[in-house]
Amino acid sequence: MPEREIAEQKMSYRQAVREAMREAMNRDDRVYLMGEDVGLYGGCFNVSEGMLEEFGKERIIDTPLSESGFTGCGIGAALGGMRPIVEIMTVNFSLLASDQIINTAAILLHMSGGQFNVPIVIRMATGGGKQLAAQHSRSLEGWYSHIPGLKILTPATVEDARGMLWPALEDPDPVLIFENTTLYNFEEAAPVNGTQVDITSAKVRREGSHVSIITYGIGLHKSLKAAEMLSADGIEAEVIDLRVLRPLDNQTIFESVRKTHRAVIVDEGWKSVGLSAELSARITENLFYELDCPVERVCAAEVPAPYAGHLEKASLPQPENIVETVRQLGGIYG
């Protein structure tokens, strides 16, 4: 049977997020956008450009620089029957709102015995790589994924950037979406009609048989590049895009590792007590006898992000580090 053709158009990750928000706002008038400079300015990363003109100031709301206040306000509005999209400029500033996210949004349903659900979507930019120094370059999505009660999405493709928002808004519980700042200009062909995607599973983005590289966000792009470099060497890496950091999709990860018997985790977060440690633990707990060699991790250097370009580059996982790590895996050359 011939595959039904879906019209595609090239668009940037930034445009994809904007289109997703426009579609959601047109679809449901309970949806509104609230955050710092999302209106008149068009968003710190230009994501919401033009939306104020299109939807008006009742629905595109510029907030004061009060992360805790407006995030809490979004949570309250969600309790009151709205479907807020709260944009926190970057994950770094979300720490000011972490009380609201962690002490309120994540727990209200359970603590109230099922009475109060919080259907909020909180979007924020994350990641380093733009020489913004230590206070503007964090990758804390793994840290948020420690918290029961939250759902954590990390769209790495244009399709996901566009397709994850609506299901996230439809979800009756709090969903955090982390958009890597270095991806906003990334362009890719994506379905014109804004097809939705699932927000529960990981995806194999490249098939391979020798090693499973497990990653998400910007790490996906670096890992795919590394996989191409490895391929020239005769090593075929399977690249898994986690897409959802909480709940982790064990099944897709385990299936891949059962096939390749080797796993490398690539995470721009820190290694210690982090997401990569959790993934490694899950793999060793469940697939110990399937492994041909220990699980390896390529993560950020355990320092605050430095400003100097070459230092920052050295502090983050690069395709070369991934290649190097894979090459040293036991038995990788057969």
Partner 1 sequence: MSKQDAIFTPIGTNENNQKGKVDKAVDLPEPTETSWKDLGLSKEDLKEMYESMYLQRRFEERAMQMYQKGKFGGFLHLYIGQEAVSTGTAWALNSDDDIITAYRDHGFGLVRGVTPESGMAELYGKAAGCSKGKGGSMHFANVEEHFWGGHGIVGGHIPLGAGIAFANKYRETGRITACFFGDGAVHQGVLHETMNMSQLWQLPCIFAVENNGYAMGTSVRRHSVGEIVDRADAYGMKKKVINGMDLFTVYEAMKEMAEEVRKDNQPWFAEIRTYRYRGHSMSDPQKYRTKEELQEYQKVDPIERLKRLMTEEKIAGKKKIEEIEEKVEKVVLDAVEFAENADFPEPEELYDDMFVEEDAKFHE
Nearest CA-CA partner of 239 in 260, 267, 208, 277: 208
At its nearest, how many Å lie between partner 1 and the CB of residue 72? 3
| Minimum CB distance to partner 1 smaller for 247 or for 331 | 247
To the nearest whole angstrom, how small is the minimum distance from the Cβ of residue 251 to partner 1?
A: 9
Q: Are strands 121-126 and 175-180 parallel, antiparallel or unpaired?
A: parallel
What is the DSSP secondary structure assignment for residue 245, as one 8-state letter? E
240 CB contacts (<8 Å, ≥6 apart)?
Answer: 202, 203, 204, 205, 212, 213, 214, 215, 252, 253, 256
Which listed residue (66, 135, 193, 328) binds partner 1 by CB under 8 A? 66
Q: Which of 56, 266, 23 is nearest to 164 (CA)?
A: 23
Report the nearest approach of partner 1 to the CB of residue 306 (Å). Answer: 30
Is residue 187 annotated as part of the catalytic site, yes or no?
A: no
Told to check if 287 binds partner 1 by CB under 8 A, we report no
Residue 58 found at the interface with partner 1 (CB under 8 A): yes
- Is 136 tagged catalytic? yes
- Give residues 166-225 in contact with partner 1 (rule: CB under 8 A): 171-173, 200
CB of 237 to partner 1, least distance (A): 26
249 contributes a contact to partner 1 by CB under 8 A: yes
Q: Do 67 and 92 contact (CB within 8 A), yes or no?
A: no
- Out of 19, 36, 87, 136, the active site residue is 136
Out of 1, 64, 272, 310, the only residue in the binding site for partner 1 (CB under 8 A) is 64
User: Quick check: 282 and 321 in contact, CB under 8 A?
Assistant: no
Residue closer to partner 1 (CB basis): 116 or 186: 116
Show Cβ contacts of residue 26 under 8 Å, excluding neighbours closer than 6 positions: none
With CA atoms as reference, report the closest residue to 151 among 277, 273, 251, 244: 244
Nearer to partner 1, 63 or 256 (CB): 63
Query: What is the full DSSP assignment across 157-178?
Result: SHHHHHHSHHHHHHSSS-EEEE
Q: Does 55 engage in binding with partner 1 (CB under 8 A)? A: no
Q: Which residues are catalytic?
A: 67, 136
Binding site for partner 1 (CB under 8 A): 30, 32, 58, 61, 63-64, 66, 68-82, 99-100, 103-104, 108-117, 148-149, 171-173, 200, 246-250
